[in-house]
Amino acid sequence: MTATVTPLPARFARLVKIEHTVFALPFAYVGGFLAVDGSPSAHDLLWITLAMVGARSLAMALNRLIDAGIDARNPRTAVRELPSGQLRAWQVVAFCAVSLALFLVAVYQLDPLVQYLWPIPIVAFVVYPYLKRFTWLCHLWLGVVDGLAPVGAWAAIRGDLPWQAWALGAAVAFWIAGFDLFYALFDLEVDREQGLHSWATRFGVVGCFRGARVFHLLTVVALVAAGLGLPVGALYWVGVGTVAALLAYEHTLVSPGNLKRLDMAFFTMNGVISVAFFAWVLADELV
């Protein structure tokens, strides 16, 4: 029987987990809609979308490339495209180059401010995979990187960076960092064996749950702060309440003694949170 060969585009899509774009892209749109207190132009939405796709693809591909050796020694990640040989390193480098080109083309269609600031996320992408080798604060760095999504979209449209944009970025940063603490639990024992650093290896399972609760509380606080500084309506506050309720529910799905539903808490619920909040913001801005 002939084995089925996965098409190359599908392998690249798996490499960067294209479905996880749902985590960051809606929050970029949130930044864009709140920046103009209404609907951004189709031109801006198109190029923000392409910039996000390029940036996220580059970030994930760099992560996989830099961590290929670590992934190969971890049973959970050894099946990934690089360690399993489904993709070669030169192919991923080429993919990184294409993703960077897409990001830069998109950036140069937007406000001049982001044309000066674009190296910042690129440097952050490169630094992130190395942090687990040195510090358990790597989760916060990941949060900051993803928190650039609403900040960048705001700057791309308005050409300024008021504190409200940073509050939205902080909300995303704490949200991402919080659920990344849960994600670290997947590899707790392997990370300890390999001498890698994470919140889980430093503070244990209970420490991850405590940290995630604090970060997710700060997520809601930052969303409230942003709303108080913006001309938002009632539906925005319904969105904030929805986020708070969904985060609370997420924390009921797992406990230090029961991690069976960790996949649901990490992947499903966070996708729902991102889309739901954008839907409420969109409704608030368009009504």
Each residue of 52-110: pLDDT tens digit?
Answer: 999 999 999 999 999 999 999 999 999 999 999 999 999 999 999 999 999 999 999 99
218 vs 272 pLDDT, higher one? 218
User: 250 to each of 3, 40, 94, 179, 205, how far by Cα in Å?
Assistant: 39, 32, 38, 9, 16
Task: Domain count for the chain, please give it.
Answer: 1
- What pLDDT, on the 0 to 100 scale, is given for residue 266? 67
Each residue of 171-210: pLDDT tens digit?
Answer: 999 999 998 998 899 899 999 999 999 999 999 999 999 9
**Does residue 1 belong to any structural domain of this protein?**
no
**Does residue 3 belong to any structural domain of this protein?**
no
The answer to whether 195 touches 201, Cβ cutoff 8 Å, is no
Amino acid at 72: A
**Does residue 282 belong to any structural domain of this protein?**
yes
Mean pLDDT of the chain: 92
Each residue of 17-35: pLDDT tens digit?
Answer: 887 777 789 999 999 999 9
- What pLDDT, on the 0 to 100 scale, is given for residue 1? 43
- What pLDDT, on the 0 to 100 scale, is given for residue 4? 63
Rounded percentage of the chain residues whose pLDDT exceeds 90: 80
Supply the CATH number for residue 254's domain.
Answer: 1.10.357.140
**Does residue 2 belong to any structural domain of this protein?**
no
**Does residue 155 belong to any structural domain of this protein?**
yes
Q: Tell me what the mean pLDDT of segment 250-276 comes to.
A: 81
pTM equals: 0.93
User: 262 to each of 20, 103, 105, 169, 179, how far by Cα in Å?
Assistant: 16, 33, 38, 25, 10
- What pLDDT, on the 0 to 100 scale, is given for residue 62? 96
CA angle 180, 186, 189 (to 5 degrees): 120
**Dihedral angle computed from the Cα positions of residues 159, 165, 169 and 170, in that order, rounded to the nearest 10 degrees:** 140
Amino acid at 217: L
**Does residue 219 belong to any structural domain of this protein?**
yes
| Alpha-carbon radius of gyration of the chain | 19
The answer to whether 246 touches 226, Cβ cutoff 8 Å, is no
**Does residue 102 belong to any structural domain of this protein?**
yes
Residue 168, pLDDT > 70, answer yes
**Does residue 116 belong to any structural domain of this protein?**
yes
- What pLDDT, on the 0 to 100 scale, is given for residue 23? 75
Domain carrying residue 143: 8-286
